[in-house]
Amino acid sequence: MRKEVLFSGFGGQGVILASVILGRAAAVYEGYYAVQTQSYGPESRGGASRAEVVISDEPVDYPKALSPDYAVFFSQEAYTKYVHEVREGAIVIVEKDLVPHRDPEVENRLRVYEYPLTELAEQTTGLSLTMNILTLGILVGLTRVVSRESIEKAVRDSVPGGTEEVNLKALKKGFELADSVADSAS
């Protein structure tokens, strides 16, 4: 088992924290090996943010996500730049309000779930910056890459002290959104 997960957006959207939490959930609470990576190049100046997690049942020799199994796009720039890397059949979550220009041809070969993530977070917790955690909830709910219990524990460990409850509320909203997809599919 090797799963590659890509989170991307712009600075301040909590892309790195989301991926740190997922890596922690996989390793500390599920016993997998995990490597979590940020790569920065000259393009970082523009504010693009990209973080990756590789989860495996054996030590991870190659830590880069070359063809992500799961991907999250929080910004147009990130989508335009990285959506082509995602492997066929990948589960992809898109912040629809922030990614107006889409590529139907690429999306045809993906399983795309689109939400107004920032707005949903704002409505759920009053804090738009919980959108990264809400998205983690959707991702885990849809993919089961780690259990809901493990991601909850990792959120609790990792978010700033005092923000645990608001973030768990965002996470659970994410689970619900994933459940409603599963319900409507059945």
Closer residue to a copy of itself, CB minimum distance, 40 or 149: 40
How far apart CA 32 and CA 113 sit, in angstroms, is: 26
Closest distance of CB 28 from a copy of itself, Å: 5
Strands 2-10, 70-73: pairing kind: parallel
| Secondary structure of residue 57 in the 3-state scheme | coil
List, in order, residues 6 or more apart from 61 with CB less than 8 Å away: none
Closest distance of CB 59 from a copy of itself, Å: 7
Q: Whose CA is closest to 97, among 114, 72, 122, 79? A: 114
Closer residue to a copy of itself, CB minimum distance, 26 or 121: 26
How far apart CA 25 and CA 39 sit, in angstroms, is: 21
- The residue ranges that bind a copy of itself (CB under 8 A) are 11, 16, 20, 23-24, 26-28, 31, 33-42, 44-45, 59-60, 63-64, 157, 160
Closer residue to a copy of itself, CB minimum distance, 28 or 181: 28
Q: Are 33 and 58 in contact (CB under 8 A)?
A: yes
Closest distance of CB 182 from a copy of itself, Å: 29
CA 79 to chain centre: 13
- Structure tokens given for 13: 């959207």
Closer residue to a copy of itself, CB minimum distance, 104 or 160: 160
- Count of CB atoms situated within 10 Å of the CB of 185: 6
